[in-house]
Amino acid sequence: MSNARERLLELSRQSGTSLAGLSDMIGRNPTYLQQFIRKGSPRRLEERDRRVLADFFGVSESELGGPEQGGVKEKSYTSTRKLPLDGGWIEVPRLSLSASAGPGAVSADEAPFDNFRFSRKWLREQGLDGSKLSAIAVQGDSMEPLLRAGDEVLVDHAPQPFRDGIHVIRLDDALLVKRVAAQGGGRFTLLSQNLAYPPMDVRAEDIEIIGRVVWKSGRL
C-alpha cells in the first residue's frame, strides 16, 4: 500500500489538486487523504473512493491499491482535469422537461436524465445552494434574443422573497420561462423579450413560481 500512497501523492501534485480537494470530492473530511498518505489511516482506500479517484486521474485502480485486472496492469492515462483549489464539484440535475418561451409546454416527468457539474466555489461565490438547483431546457422564441430554443437554464428553487426577474413558472399545468414583474394587489405581469409577444397579466393565485433563472447555457 505504500506504493499506492506515493502514487496518489504524485498524481495530486501533477494535477495541481490539493488532497483536501480530493477528499471533498469523494465525500470525506478535508484531512482524510492527508491521513491516509502520512499516517496510514485508513490502511487502504475503500473500493468506491478508489474508483472515483482512479476515474478522476484517468489511471488504473491498481495504481491506488486495487486488484490488477486479469493479472495485467491496466493502461494509465494522464489526466488534465483539475479541481478548484478549495475543492469539490456539485452535480446539478438536468430534468426531463422544458419551460416554454412560447405558448406553454406541458410539464413532463420531473426526473433527471443527466447532470451539469459546477464548481462548489463558483456556486458559493454566486450565493447559490447546489442542492436547490436544477437545469431545464427552453422551448419557443418569446424570450429571444436573451434565451433561445435549446438553451438550458439553471433554476434556483431556494425559498426567498420575490424579486422581479426571469423565472420559471407554472400556469395551467404548463411551464413558462418569462420575466415576471409584481404589479401589486396580488397581480403579476409576464413579460417576453420578443416584442411580438404581448404582456400577460395574471393573478398570484393562478401561477406557481418554480424558481428564479440564474444562469444559462447555449450554443453561439
What's the average model confidence in pLDDT over 7-14? 88
Q: Per-residue pLDDT for 154 more than 50?
A: yes
Q: Grid cell 494522464 — which residue? A: 78
Residues 6 or more apart in contact with residue 85 via CB below 8 angstroms? 16, 17, 18, 21
- Residues with Cβ within 8 Å of residue 129, at least 6 apart in sequence: 123, 158
Partner residues linked to 112 by β-bridges: 95
Q: What is the largest CA-CA distance in the chain?
A: 74
Model confidence pLDDT, tens digit, residues 28-57:
888 899 899 988 888 889 988 888 888 888
**CATH for 89-217, among 2.60.40.10, 2.10.109.10, 3.40.30.10, 3.40.50.300?**
2.10.109.10
Indicate the fold that domain 2-64 takes in CATH. 434 Repressor (Amino-terminal Domain) (1.10.260)
Domain boundaries, the chain: 2-64, 89-217
174's grid cell: 404548463
Percentage of the residues of the chain whose pLDDT score is greater than 70: 84
Closest among 112, 110, 116, 144 to 130, alpha carbons compared: 116
* Cell 494509465 belongs to residue: 76
